[in-house]
Structure 1
Amino acid sequence: MAHGGNLNHARALFPQAPEPWIDLSTGISPYSYPHPAIPGNVFARLPEPNSACRLKEVAARAYEAPSAEHVVAAPGTQILLPIIAGLVGGPRSDPAFGPAKGRAAVLSPTYAEHARAARLAGLAMVETEDFDELASADLAVVVNPNNPTGRIVTRKDLLALTSVMQARRGLLVVDEAFMDVSDAESAAGLVDHGGLVVLRSFGKFYGMAGLRLGFALAHPDIVARIEAQLGPWAVSGPALHVGLEALADTAWKAEMQVKLHDEAARLDGLLNKAGLTVFGGTSLFRLIRDRRAQSLFQHLGKRGIITRRFEERPEDLRIGLPDPYGWPRVEEALSAFDPTRG
């Protein structure tokens, strides 16, 4: 399974599992933002340009970007990855790069779509665990906090790398998809330096991944290049409507941050009782690194609880938060896990 959230795949793996499934394979909050009903005319009309402009203003305040001119609103951050990767590189004379347009380096292990997008853009790809190696690339990618490990790169280190990338006419992409549940400092305030794009996901923290809404924060010159490729009406009317309300609701955000932190601690307690140690993660998911990870995946799957495993790292297992109705089943399943087996 390349990504989480595929219940059809889960059913094929565990055809006898009880329904409904509890999907813990994603890092999406189990608590959707409680928006009021969306007016019918929002679905009937093309999105209004002034609504898109207002969303950029609200997003700039929410994510602490310098201004609305530094914000791209998009139908999810996923669609932005190949567009951004295509902004860098060009014909190269260095034979070490071969025929590729340039070189991309992704701080790994992390979300696999960044590497795929770089390859689609014609860049030679390297995945590295050495932060310093990113400075030699035309496109450098850091997921911060990282998915799935929760690793944090400091704002100071990101600023230093941004300066290097700007001098080399390269680009640093900092994917802050899980920054809403982190105590780390966002890099959003640095984007006016140039050489930097910060990505922010709406759907994960607000529990509305199906709405498809995300943002890129960058220097206005970069914003203009990205928006030219997205074209008009990039964000749907319903997404504009919900996004405008949710991003301005600071009270709900603060309450949810506390709630998710507490529930992550609750999950840690259940995992520890089952003899498992949490290696890392964020308040929206926990990462187990244990030789029994595959046994736990099977144990939970047979009980209708799907988690995220990694073929290339069989000792890793990522576990998201259940909704209120799922907690009893998760607690029962983990209490039945035998840590001496597997």
Structure 2
Amino acid sequence: MNNELDLSQEKPKHGGNLLALRRSLGVLQDVKESWIDLSSAVNRHPWPVPEVPVFLWYELPDLDSLKQAAADYYGANNFVPIAGTQQAIEALPNLLFASEIRHKTKVLVPEVGYQEHGFAWSKWQYAVDTYKNTQDLTVKSWQVLVLIQPNNPSANKLTLAELLSLIETAQVRKAYLIIDEAFIDGVVGASLLSHYQDKAWPACLIVLRSVGKFFGLPGARVGFCFASQLILKGLASVTGPWPIATPATWLLSQAFKDVSWQIQASRDLVSRSQRFEKEIKPLINQFFIALSQSVRWQQSELFYTLFCDEAEGLFEWLQALSIHVRLGDAWLRFALPADTEFDLISKRVQQALLNGQTQGVGQVEEVE
């Protein structure tokens, strides 16, 4: 049995790829001017980035100020700063189990969810299986369970009681529970970190947090892994002494301290969600009414996801209107638009609907 890294697997696809997509279609104009990109589900009203002092580019990173600001923001300090949660997703499979037992170590990941989780464990040749719902978690065996809280893209969440029950199960099995909380910042107190502020941290528990989504700063590539000291020591040894660039370290230290912005951002997400319900959902639903198709919507604080059999048809239709969203297997995910984008989206979709452009998707003309 070969337990080395399997490089033959196809890499998962991601949102936030507008420029690459248009290049592949031979579109050479500056698409950022005319296109609305809702594909990556990050906050479209990001934290306002100030001017970065030039001297920061000349210095190696000192993570002390970032660690302190992060500890205050998260209410916990048992973490390692990382280059986005993706770095931990990549590193953990090679840290937690010896190579000779990986092929028989069972890992459960969501059937619908961030695909990098399953990809990371599969390429290290673990026995990866998927689950559809919480009932599956009780009937399937696992040594590693990956939860996405809330799930991306389904927006499903487990209750605190359900999470604590799974933690107890993991402790009994001497297994690991990895919870990806990349999209949880929009609701104060929703994170499992709040529960453990005054309690001992379970050895089985690993929590991943991201600043890219709520703060709208995916380009900073900053995240945090919360875990036991043993796991943190191992993770720090493979991420190295400078996992985050000096300017990003400085920027996020400021963002974590900006409490007034955080409060306003949470309120703003609620306001834009209400606007999406009122203005965008009814228009998108009209596309399916014209085709006599049923749809199902689910929402999180930062995105809406539509589940339907004609997802690819709607994706192509929206592409023709210069609106880019995330296409999955029978689902589409929409980031909450910025205030300035709502009217543009409504205008383009309304015009296409009035023109009867729900048939012959590939022939829809772009709407300015």
1:174 is matched with 179
Q: 1:154 aligns with which of 135, 159, 179?
A: 159
CA–CA separation in structure 2 for the residues paired with 1:101 and 1:230: 27
Query: Any gaps of 5 or more consecutive residues in structure 1?
Result: 94-98
Shift of 1:275: 5.4
1:328 is matched with 343
Q: What are the residue-to-residue correspondences of 1:52-63 with 2, within 5 Å? A: 52-63=63-74
Conservation of the 8 A alpha-carbon contact between 1:141 and 1:175? yes
1:282 is matched with 300
Q: What are the residue-to-residue correspondences of 1:101-140 with 2, within 5 Å? A: 102-134=105-137, 136-140=141-145
Give RMSD over aligned pairs: 2.5
CA–CA separation in structure 2 for the residues paired with 1:122 and 1:275: 41
Q: TM-score, normalised on structure 2?
A: 0.82
Q: Which amino acid aligns with 2:218?
A: A
Conservation of the 8 A alpha-carbon contact between 2:108 and 2:146? yes
CA–CA separation in structure 1 for the residues paired with 2:120 and 2:137: 17
1:96 is matched with none
Aligned residues: 328
Q: TM-score, normalised on structure 1?
A: 0.88
Instruction: Give yes or no for the alignment of 1:72 onto 2:70.
Output: no
Shift of 1:208: 1.0
1:225 is matched with 234
- Aligned partner of residue 340 in structure 2, secondary structure: coil
Conservation of the 8 A alpha-carbon contact between 1:77 and 1:213? yes
1:4 is matched with 15
Instruction: Give yes or no for the alignment of 1:20 onto 2:34.
Output: yes
Q: Which amino acid aligns with 1:325?
A: T
**Aligned residues with identical type, % of pairs:** 28
Shift of 1:121: 2.8
2:150 is matched with 145
CA–CA separation in structure 1 for the residues paired with 2:319 and 2:26: 6
- Aligned partner of residue 78 in structure 1, secondary structure: helix
Shift of 1:187: 1.4
2:291 is matched with none
Q: 2:320 aligns with which of 280, 299, 302?
A: 302
Instruction: Give yes or no for the alignment of 1:187 onto 2:192.
Output: yes
CA–CA separation in structure 2 for the residues paired with 1:245 and 1:295: 43
Check 1:57–1:166 CA distance in 2 against 1; reply closer, same or farther (3 A cut): farther
- Aligned partner of residue 201 in structure 2, secondary structure: helix
Greater Cα offset, 6-15 or 203-212:
6-15
Query: Any gaps of 5 or more consecutive residues in structure 2?
Result: 1-11, 286-294, 360-368
Shift of 1:181: 1.7
Check 1:86–1:229 CA distance in 2 against 1; reply closer, same or farther (3 A cut): same
Q: 2:258 aligns with which of 249, 253, 262?
A: 249
CA–CA separation in structure 2 for the residues paired with 1:229 and 1:42: 24
Check 1:227–1:132 CA distance in 2 against 1; reply closer, same or farther (3 A cut): farther
Conservation of the 8 A alpha-carbon contact between 2:283 and 2:346? no
CA–CA separation in structure 2 for the residues paired with 1:278 and 1:336: 24
Deviations 1:229-282 (A, max 9, x none): 111111111111011111121211010011012112211222332252661121
CA–CA separation in structure 2 for the residues paired with 1:260 and 1:5: 20
Check 1:38–1:175 CA distance in 2 against 1; reply closer, same or farther (3 A cut): same
Check 1:326–1:9 CA distance in 2 against 1; reply closer, same or farther (3 A cut): same
- Aligned partner of residue 198 in structure 1, secondary structure: strand
Check 1:77–1:37 CA distance in 2 against 1; reply closer, same or farther (3 A cut): same
CA–CA separation in structure 2 for the residues paired with 1:142 and 1:124: 17
Shift of 1:294: 2.7
CA–CA separation in structure 1 for the residues paired with 2:28 and 2:247: 38
CA–CA separation in structure 2 for the residues paired with 1:32 and 1:320: 13
Shift of 1:157: 1.3
Deviations 1:47-87 (A, max 9, x none): 12xxx13322322221232xx2x011011111110212223
- Aligned partner of residue 181 in structure 1, secondary structure: coil
CA–CA separation in structure 1 for the residues paired with 2:169 and 2:212: 32
Conservation of the 8 A alpha-carbon contact between 2:203 and 2:228? yes
